[in-house]
Amino acid sequence: MLLNRKYVPVAVTFGLLATMFAAGAFRYTGFFSMQVFYNLLIDNSFLLITAVGMTFVILSGGIDLSVGSVIALTTMVSASLVEQHGWPPAVVIPLVLVMGSLFGATMGAIIHYFRIQPFIVTLAGMFLARGLCYLISIDTITIKNASYTWVAQTKVSLPGGYVSINVMIALVVVLLALYLAHYTRFGRNVYAIGGSEQSALLMGLPVAQSKVLVYTLSGFCSALAGVVFTFYMLSGYGLHAMGLELDTIAAVVIGGTLLTGGVGYIVGTFLGVLIQGVIQTIISFEGTLSSWWTKIVIGLLLFVFILFQKVLSERRITVKS
Q: How far apart are CA 87 and CA 100, in angstroms?
A: 18
Most distant CA atoms of the chain, gap in Å: 64
Closest to 65 in 3D by CA, of 99, 113, 112, 104: 104
Give pLDDT, residue 321: 46
3-state secondary structure 33-88: CHHHHHHHHHHHHHHHHHHHHHHHHHHCCCCCCCHHHHHHHHHHHHHHHHHHCCCC
Weakest-pLDDT range from 131-140, 145-154, 284-293: 284-293
Instruction: Read off the DSSP letter of residue 103.
Output: H
Q: How confident is the model at residue 12 (pLDDT cuts 50, 70, 90)?
A: confident
pTM given for the model = 0.94
Q: How far apart are CA 242 and CA 75, in angstroms?
A: 13
Q: How many CB atoms lie within 10 A of CB 192?
A: 21
Roughly what angle, to the nearest 10 degrees, separates helices 118-136 and 67-79?
20
Residues 6+ apart with CB under 8 A from 287: none
CB 57 within 8 A of CB 64: yes
Q: What percent of the chain has pLDDT over 90?
A: 76
- The alpha helices in 184-243, defined as continuous H runs, are 185-195, 197-202, 207-233
What domains lie within the chain, and their CATH numbers? 5-314 (1.10.3470)
- pLDDT above 80 (res 152): yes
For 142, the enclosing helix (H) or strand (E) is strand 141-142
Own/partner pairs for 97-102, CB < 8 Å, 24+ apart? 97/220, 97/223, 97/224, 97/227, 99/73, 99/74, 99/223, 100/70, 100/74, 100/219, 100/220, 100/221, 100/222, 100/223, 100/224, 100/226, 101/216, 101/219, 101/220, 101/223, 102/216, 102/219
CB 252 within 8 A of CB 51: yes
Q: What is the pLDDT of residues 79-106, one digit of tens each?
A: 999 999 999 999 999 999 999 999 999 9
Q: How far apart are CA 263 and CA 6, in angstroms?
A: 8
Q: How confident is the model at residue 1 (pLDDT cuts 50, 70, 90)?
A: very low
Q: What is the pLDDT of residues 233-283, one digit of tens each?
A: 999 999 999 999 999 999 999 999 988 899 999 999 999 999 999 988 888
Q: How far apart are CA 301 and CA 21, in angstroms?
A: 16
